[in-house]
Structure 1
Amino acid sequence: MEKRSNAHNSRRNKNLGPRRTLNHLENQPSQALNPSRFEMFAMRALMRVFSKQKQAAARILTIEHGVVRANRTILAVDDGISTRLISSWSHAPKSALPAPQLSIDSIDVDDRANSSRPGTPTAMIDFSDSSTAHSQKTTFELLRALAVFRVCQVKWIVDNAKMLLNVSNRINTTITEAIVERTFYKHFCAGRDSVDMKPVIDMLQRHGVRPILDYAAENEGGESDEGISPQDAEDILTHPPFNQPARIYAYKSEEDCDRHVEIFRDCIHSVRDVSPCGFAALKVTALGNPELLERMSTMIVETKRLFSKFDTGKTGMVTHEQFKECYRQYFRAEDDEIAKIIQDIDLDNNGMIDYIEFAEMMHPCQLPTFTKQCTDVGPLALATPSDEEIALMQRMSERLHTLAQEAADCGTKLLIDAEHLKYQPAIDSLVLELQQKFNDKGKTDRPVIFNTYQCYMKDAAERAQVDLERSERFGFHFAAKIVRGAYLHHERSRAEELGYESPIHDSKEETDRCYDEVVELLLRYRSEHGPGLEVMVASHNQGSIERAVHLMQRLGIQCADNPSVHFAQLFGMCDNLTFTLGKANFNAFKYLPYGPVGEVIPYLLRRAEENSSVLDKTGDEIHLLLDELKRRYSFV
């Protein structure tokens, strides 16, 4: 009976001629890749999930000598009897499409002739090549990426992710973290520490991509206590002026901040060891109490509002006479005292005072000197820090200066991440201090400290322009990372809850326009003023990347010889942009978050939320991953 069956199968295969079944192909050696049965099973399952058409509408394909004779995305189907190949989509895979055209004017002949930069012309860069984007991944990593992005498309899961994690943790924290680690953590994070990250960093550098190391623990703080609580041995009790309620800052928070200094120091050393021109990223909320940062931000915002009252003509400039008149209105002071203040802050002695000079006078640590002379207790007086808070602010500044000095000594650049708006003015103030010292044109020809500008903020372009002017006035190299922003939902919800106008642009189109305008402002400044300024175009938007590359070529900015323009994307996202730019000899970087699983969960929640909010982008990611699977397994 067995011989008869074998003979029957032999005759059947002979009659099929060059036609082969998928089961037959699985048993044949492959010159490129020989998938395991597990991989084949997983691919079949996932391809069924991602299929958009009904199986009944699909047509059976044949394979001649192992080659699919159709330019279509195809799907393996196992009906329990035999395995067949059916078509699931009628469109050509993205890797077969022509390279995308630039969304701005294409490069003309004169532009190309004037651009001496070696590398691939913009019009020849193909961001739709799945091989360039994903050839470095194993098949299992491709399948995991597909699963992660598919989950990001399920809005209910993303919207309730924090609740689901809390419920799961109550059941079993160990199992929860194990699941998160093997899925979202492995996809979006590079590892627990520098040793764990080394294979990832080595892989990136083999493909022309450099690392940005980012300890991804996030401290979002809590609500400030109102009223005096019993002083505990582990608390710092503050005594603000003007009969404000005391505030309590935990010593444990300070201890955690000191511990984070050592973590960031190790991060800087790791960058030095693996990438001489690399970056380390840090979050200021990891180095200071978030409630203290929020207090500092309130002081800075109220200072800006006070300047607008001095600026009665709304010109952005205050004359000496205007300053004297307004100062007498809000503060008690003699004429000679006011004259001394004017002399100290009008640094260029041009008879006018602008916000930059005014803000220098009203630094948070110097605020009590002025507010104790207030004629009335207003918002600025109520924002005045206590002596204890000033000591905590100085301690936070010392931590930042320690790390900045370490970065300068190691030749590593330091990216200061943007955070929630309620902390950002304080962060900007601290970064400005660092830039004045460590980006000083008299001491270095390259910047060390980079600030971050979130272009979904309505005032992003204005802030960039003001800080550019600051860099000229105080003689330091301007350096910036330009992003769209990562806290959109939080900022809008907070504005609605507290009843103030949303600081976020009303539409994505406005954010896109702002982003491209800020990048163009900085690139043109770099072209006109020469080396010194550096900008990191950190974006997952292909159009913005293409515009920046095109403008660089028009302006003759040569990254290979003078790396003043960098491109960066997050690990686990938009590999088609990063690896294509790296292959074309641009300064391409991957942001590599790392840290213990439990500490980076807030970061992972933001990544899931971001991918959920840009479903079109997630769909593009899925298509490229499927294209790479098809490239490897042409019979799938």
Structure 2
Amino acid sequence: MIPKTLFEDTETAFSLKSDSELERAYFLFKMISKEPLVRIGTSVTKFALNVNLPVEGLIRSTVFDHFCGGVSEDDCASTVEKLAGVDVYSVLDYSVEGKEEEQQFDRTLDKVMELTRHAKDNPNMPFAVFKPTGFGRFAIWQKVSEGGELSSEEKAEWERIVARYDTICAEAVRCDVVLLIDGEESWMQQAADDLCEAMMQKYNKEKPIVYNTLQCYRWDRLAYLKEIHQRARENNYHLGFKIVRGAYMEKENDRAEAKGYPTPICGSKSETDEHFNQVMRYILDNLSEIGLFLGTHNELSTYLAMERMKEMGLNENDKQVWFGQLFGMSDHISYNLAKAGYNVAKYIPFGPVKDVMPYLIRRAEENTSVAGQTNRELDLLKREKQRRGI
């Protein structure tokens, strides 16, 4: 049995934090635990940035520096190096969201290509990552997902999206860098799933390089996984999946209610947890054909994965299994897992402060909605402060 005290070691969990960084983390999670403060704070921040008030310095020194690696990849270099010192790998995530211009999509492709080449030469960065809407307008993804008829201009726009995907997937294979493609809202995800599947069929012939994301708060993801696995077997290619619980629950439920269709989201937190664990077990039982990146801040799911690996006789650092958490969160899982010999990567968002704020606001809102997780962070930080006598 895996000892259930592994994640209680706060000295290892916060070994990279100075006393002042520990105090800042405690302050931030204390604020995030109070929903009215998050709601007011995000509104004020959006307003201040929109009217160009000089607040970037304040944001940079608090929430940005805690949850992000920097404003550029060069800015992230010291963080990547520090993490490598405790055997934690890095996934640099260019987290600019909500852009709608073709020029910006090309810029994002250039950035992800640059990061992929950078990862090729840096053993501490075995992954590259992007969001589907980083390469094309949300409305086009939605229209293709719904089977709508595209105008000639929209067809050309969709072809540019496909070309961007093909370009980065080919580069990932050339560089031998795993490419993680994030999941988004369900009403655009069908087109993203289909395009990613086409890229897997084309580029995952020898091993999983292109990874899609399964958001397991959607109750249909295990069935989808089994269907695509059957197609992959029939067509002789590998699959790769990052599995997460999901990031758009309130938006998904609100839209389903407003438009009068059944919600795609599991009925409860416990149902989501069970579905996540079923998806995780299915992939672990088929590791010869499916690569797994386990994106979770849930301790129980992590223990279950570790125990299943042990039952299967896998080494802790089996190259087909990775554990991942977001930078600035769940350090008690990340650093203690790495110390125990498992493959661990931190997702490190970066980009200009103003452009990354939509991402940071979404993270704050998610943390507020998962009160147990925020309270766990606070408890561990408080214990480490007491251990250090601060």
Q: How far, CA to CA, are the matches of 1:176 and 1:510 in structure 2? A: 41
Amino acid at match of 2:155: I
Tell me if the contact between 1:189 and 1:593 (Cα under 8 Å) persists in the aligned partners.
Answer: yes
Alignment of 1:76-225 (within 5 A): 107=1, 122-123=2-3, 126-169=6-49, 173-219=52-98
Amino acid at match of 1:280: A
Query: Residues of 1 paired with 2:365 and 2:54: CA distance?
Result: 23
C-alpha contact (below 8 Å) 2:49/2:354 kept by paired residues: no
Tell me: CA distance 1:577–1:276, structure 2 relative to 1, closer, same or farther (3 Å): closer
Aligned to 1:598: 354
> How do 1:222-241 residues align onto structure 2 when only pairs under 5 Å count?
none
The one-letter amino acid of 2:30's match is: R
Letter in structure 1 aligned against 2:192: I
Partner of 2:117: 269
Residues 494-550 of structure 1: CA deviation (Å, up to 9, x unaligned): 112222221111100000000000001111122xxxx34210111000000000100
Q: Per-residue deviation at 1:612?
A: 0.6
Q: CA contact under 8 A between 1:277 and 1:413: conserved in structure 2?
A: no
CA–CA distance in 2 between the matches of 1:218 and 1:184?
17
Matched to 1:596, the amino acid is P
Aligned pair partner of 1:405 in 170, 173, 178? 170
Match of 2:154 among 377, 382, 389: 389
Q: How does 1:562-601 map to 2 (within 5 A)?
A: 562-601=318-357
Is 1:453 aligned to 2:242, yes or no?
no
* CA separation of 1:220 and 1:195: change in aligned 2, threshold 3 A: closer
Pick one of 164, 180, 190 that aligns with 1:415: 180
Q: Is the 8 A contact 2:84 2:124 kept in 1?
A: no
- Alignment of 1:484 with 2:245, yes or no, is yes
How many angstroms apart in 1 are the aligned matches of 2:298 and 2:135? 31
Shift, 1:421, TM fit = 1.3
Q: Answer 1 or 2: higher relative contact order, Cα 8 Å, separation at least 6.
A: 2
**Alpha-carbon distance, 1:385 to partner:** 2.0
State the structure with more CA Rg: 1
The number of aligned residues is 390
d(CA) in 1 for partners of 2:233 and 2:292? Answer: 16
Q: Which residue of 2 aligns with 1:35?
A: none
C-alpha deviation, 1:124, in angstroms = 6.8
Among residues 216, 221, 224, which one is paired with 1:463 in the alignment? 224
Structure 2 Cα separation of the partners of residues 543 and 220 of structure 1: 37
Structure 1 length as normaliser, TM-score?
A: 0.60
8 A contact 1:578–1:588 mirrored in 2: yes
Question: Secondary structure of the residue that 1:543 maps to in structure 2?
Answer: helix
Match of 1:70 in 2: none
2-structure distance, mates of 1:143, 1:173: 29
Cα drift, residue 174 of structure 1:
4.4
Alignment gaps of 5+ in structure 1:
1-106, 108-121, 222-252, 300-382
Amino acid at match of 1:130: T
Tell me which amino acid in the other structure corresponds to 1:491: E
The equivalent of 1:113 in structure 2 is none
Q: Deviations 1:247-299 (Å, cap 9, x if unpaired)?
A: xxxxxx11211111111112112222322661111011011121111111111
How is 1:266-345 mapped onto 2 (pairs within 5 angstroms)?
266-275=114-123, 278-299=126-147
Q: Distance in 1 between matches of 2:158 and 2:48?
A: 38
8 Å CA contact 2:243–2:280 kept in 1: the answer is: yes
Query: Secondary structure in 1 aligned to 2:92?
Result: strand
Q: Is the CA contact 1:125–1:580 (under 8 Å) kept in the aligned structure 2?
A: no
Q: Where does residue 616 of structure 1 map in the other structure? A: 372
CA contact (8 A) 1:479 1:533 kept: yes
Aligned 8 A contact 1:436 1:476 in 2: yes
Q: Cα distance, 1:220 vs. partner? A: 7.1
Q: Give secondary structure in 2 for the equivalent of 1:422.
A: helix
Q: How does 1:236-247 map to 2 (within 5 A)?
A: none
Mapped to 2, the partners of 1:551 and 1:138 lie a distance apart of 35
Look up the match of 2:386: 630
**Residue type at the aligned position of 2:180:** L
Deviations 1:572-592 (A, max 9, x none): 100000001100110111011
* Contact 1:130/1:576 (8 A) holds in 2: yes
| Match of residue 270, structure 2, among 509, 524, 539 | 509
State how far apart, in whole Å, the 2-side matches of 1:128 and 1:545 are: 14
The answer as to whether partners of 1:211 and 1:275 remain within 8 angstroms in 2 is: no
Distance across 1 between alignment mates of 2:86 and 2:113: 27
Q: Is the 8 A contact 1:168 1:176 kept in 2?
A: yes
Identity among equivalent positions (%) equals: 34
Q: CA deviation at 1:423?
A: 1.5
Match of 1:89 in 2: none
Deviation at 1:571, TM superposition (A): 0.4
CA offsets, 1:410-447, max 9 Å, x none? 1111000001112111110110111011101xxx2x21
Deviation at 1:217, TM superposition (A): 1.1
SS at match of 1:127: helix
- Give the alignment partner of residue 546 of structure 1, picking from 299, 303, 309: 303
In structure 2, C-alpha distance between the alignment counterparts of 1:609 and 1:220, rounded to whole Å: 20
Tell me the alpha carbon deviations over residues 122-176 of structure 1, each in whole angstroms, 9 at most, x when there is no partner: 2276101110100111111111111110110111122344422233336x63422
CA distance in 1, matches of 2:259, 2:275: 26
SS of equivalent residue, structure 2 residue 293: strand
1:458 positional shift: 1.4
- Structure 2 length-normalised TM: 0.96
Structure with bigger helix share is: 2
Counterpart in the other structure of 2:236: 475
Amino acid across the alignment from 1:432: E
After TM superposition, the runs of 4+ consecutive aligned structure 1 residues lying more than 4 A away are none
Q: Give the Cα separation in 2 of the matches to 1:173 and 1:473.
A: 55
Given the superposition, is the C-alpha separation of residues 276 and 190 from structure 1 closer, same or farther in structure 2, using an over 3 Å criterion? closer
**AA paired with 2:168?**
L
Asked if structure 2 preserves the Cα contact closer than 8 Å seen for 1:212 and 1:281, the reply is: yes
Any idea what SS the aligned residue of 2:143 has? helix
Query: Secondary structure of the residue that 1:590 maps to in structure 2?
Result: strand
